[in-house]
Amino acid sequence: MDTATHQSDEDILIHGLKSGNQSAFHKAVRLYTPGMLAVARFYLDHSAAEETVQDCWVTVIDAIQKFEGRSGLKTWLHRIVANRAKNHLRKAKREVSADFSETLDPELADRFAPNGRWATPPSLKTNESAQALLENGALSDCLDKHLASLPETQRSALLLYEAHQHKSDDVCNILDVSASNLRVLVHRARQKIFLMVETFQETGEC
């Protein structure tokens, strides 16, 4: 008796989680932990963020029974992490600080003449695909280094928006920022990576 003609991978995973299936948890932990960590790092330092994500997963064992699928599993998990991280922040009487005032990265801003035209224009055109570029291990390492050195707020916004493919509205909710401030964070982070790739392509150095 096959009533369900199509069950998505996510539905199957949710069913496994609700049944307390260990391999479903293992799969979900691998799939969703990087994004959950990106959320937690927006609010907390490295060790507090890791602790928060670990605690969340233990909470999820029971909380998943109440998951009704009104949002996707990823968004639901990210909201749980954000709430816990915000509570943590509140208890520590701290606030997230980020600069939303300037859209241009200072290093890029310096490359324009007073009349608003390029004084130092981008020199090389990137023609290779992302996959081809990443086959260069040194560039991949350099990217790691630069992503790690971004301000936490920029990195979290960038990762949630790009790598974890959230919609803007979801990222704004999870990170408690306005749509325009999210745009600033994402754009600032992208410029840093743009500058890094440019330097790497010109000099071969990170």
Partner 1 sequence: MLMCRDLARIASDYIDGELGPMDTVSVKMHLMMCGHCRTFIGNLRASVDLINAHSSQQLDEELVRRIDERVTESLNARNSGNGNSD
Positions touching partner 1 (CB under 8 A) are 20, 22, 25-26, 29-30, 33-34, 37, 50, 53-54, 57-58, 61, 103-104, 108-109, 112, 115-118, 121-122, 124-126, 128-131, 133-134, 140, 143-144, 147, 158-159, 162-163, 168, 183, 186-187, 190-191, 193-194, 197-198
CB of 71 to partner 1, least distance (A): 21
Look up residue 13 and give its two tokens: 């995973």
Nearer to partner 1 by C-beta: 5 or 129?
Answer: 129
Q: Are 36 and 79 in contact (CB under 8 A)?
A: no
3-state helix, strand, coil in the chain (%, to 5): 65, 0, 30
- Residue closer to partner 1, measured from CB, 96 or 197: 197
Cα 65 to its chain centre, rounded Å, is 26
Which of 73, 76, 64 lies closest to 11, judged by CA? 73
CB 9 within 8 A of CB 17: no
CB 195, min distance to partner 1, A = 9
For the bound state, the minimum distance from the C-beta of residue 115 to partner 1, rounded and expressed in Å, comes to 7
